[in-house]
Structure 1
Amino acid sequence: MNELGIICDIKEGKAKVAIGEMVTDFLNVFQAFSNSYAVSFSPLRIGEQVLVMPVRGDLNSGVILRGLYQEKHKSKNTDTNTFNIDFEDGTHLEYNSKSSTLKLDVTKDISITCVDKTINNQNDTLNTQSHTTNANTITLNAPSINLNGNTQIAGAISTSGKGGESGTFSIKGNLNLIGDLKVSGNISDSKGDLTNHTHSCTDGATAVSR
């Protein structure tokens, strides 16, 4: 018959189970998936309570069925609309089918490797102490872009309008330029044209600014 026991030894994905004073041989353990579609693995832990199901009446030829709650290993969230997993390091995964919300709290790092990634959402907020993006090219399409805070650009800036037409670069405030200023058009200020203006020399003659 089936027997409840405690895992007391682990080796290569198999486990021995203590059932009273008896200890089984190393037995295979049920996992969620083990076929051509997917293969899953959930690490075993000594002290885990399990059910040993004998094969042909022999416990030492049986298999281990896992997933029994213990006093020190109970679900923190038993909401009937929520699937959740709590890992030993504090990482928490939760999905609520009633609100259709997925929550993931990770204590350290998340690493995602893929060929292409597409994210479709209405709003996106990133709260972080620092952010680095490494890419050969970055394309950002938006009707308007707001940068709040000091901005440093290492490299050249090129502007153009939609479809490659002439663009506009506007600055509200002072411009501090270290280096030369080269323009292909005219320069003007509130008083008029500075490119082709004239001024009087000390001898009374009129000269053109060059």
Structure 2
Amino acid sequence: MIEIGIISDIKDSKAKVSIGEMVTDFLPVFQSLANSYAVSFSPLRIGEQVLVMPVRGDLNSGVILRGLYQEKHKAKNTDTNTFNIDFEDGTHLEYNSKSSTLKLDVVKDISITCVDKTTNNKNDTLNTQSHTTNAKTITLNATKVSVNAPSINLNGNTQIAGTISTSGEGGTSGTFSIKGNLNLIGNLKVSGNISDSKGDLTNHIHSCTDGATAVSR
């Protein structure tokens, strides 16, 4: 006869179940996937309410069917369009098929690694229409970073430790524009002309104190 009981002891992927005054042997537990396609494992917990299904009438040769709600562990969201999981540390995963929205609230860290087994290289690609990251501090470590966008906006103070070079599309000459004041600590070296709103400063002529004229060098 099928019995309802409480997990009282755990050993690897098996568990003992207390049914009244009786305690079963360690029994195998149903998991959602266990085949060549995929193998899943959801950790067992003492106090979890389960069903024990006997084999040939013997509970000690039976299997455990888990997933029964109980007073301490009820579903927090029973919306018919939402799949959701709440973990014991407060992390929450939710997918709403009506709005096609995935929500993931993680208490601590997220680590995603994509490995190409043919080359053993680790790569990942994120495709999204829009993306927003809110964080106190972001650190990016890479040997090379490429950003491809028609327009890039940096809002806030920017510090660059290294060399800045510009080029136009296809390697042609690029343009570097500053709206505001430029404070230069060091030397200024140019390979072209220097001009301001009044004209060319590179080859301009100014008067000397003795009345002669000289070309700026």
Distance apart, 1:206 and its partner CA: 1.2
1:56-105 deviations in Å (ceiling 9; x for gaps): 11100000000001011000001111111111111111111111111111
Distance 2:37 2:126 in 1: 35
Residue 138 of structure 1: how far off its partner (Å) = 15
1:106 Cα offset (Å): 0.8
CA–CA separation in structure 1 for the residues paired with 2:179 and 2:209 = 37
Greater CA drift, 115-124 or 161-170: 115-124
Q: Summarize the Cα distance change of 1:4–1:99 in structure 2 as closer, same or farther, 3 Å threshold.
A: same
SS at 1:16 equivalent: strand
**Regions of 4+ moved over 3 Å:** 115-140
Structure 1 pair 154–128 and aligned structure 2 pair: CA distance change class (3 A):
farther
Q: TM-score of the superposition, structure 2-length normalised?
A: 0.84
Partners of 1:80 and 1:154 lie apart in 2 by 53
CA displacement, residues 100-159 of structure 1 (integer Å, 9 cap, x when unaligned): 111111111110011479999999999999999999999991111111110111110111
Q: Answer yes or no: is the 8 Å Cα contact 2:113–2:122 preserved in 1.
A: no
Q: Which moved further from structure 2: 200-209 or 120-129?
A: 120-129
- 1:193 deviates by 1.3
Work out the percentage of aligned pairs sharing the same amino acid. 90
For structure 2, the 5+ residue unaligned runs are 141-147
Change (3 A) 1:204 1:166: same
> Aligned with 2:165: secondary structure?
coil
Provide the rounded CA distance (Å) in 1 between the counterparts of 2:45 and 2:197.
Answer: 78
Task: Provide the rounded CA distance (Å) in 2 between the counterparts of 1:4 and 1:13.
Answer: 19
Q: Structure 1: how far apart are the matches of 2:35 and 2:122?
A: 38
Structure 1 unaligned segments of length 5 or more: list them.
none
- Conserved? CA contact 2:113–2:123, under 8 Å: no
Higher deviation after alignment, 113-122 or 192-201: 113-122
Q: CA separation in 1, counterparts of 2:138 and 2:166?
A: 15
TM-score of the two chains, using structure 1 as the length reference: 0.87
**Cα distance in 1, alignment partners of residues 179 and 119 from structure 2:** 35
Distance 1:137 1:89 in 2: 23
Matched residues in 1 for 2:164 and 2:214: separation? Answer: 36
RMSD: 6.3
Paired residues, what number? 210
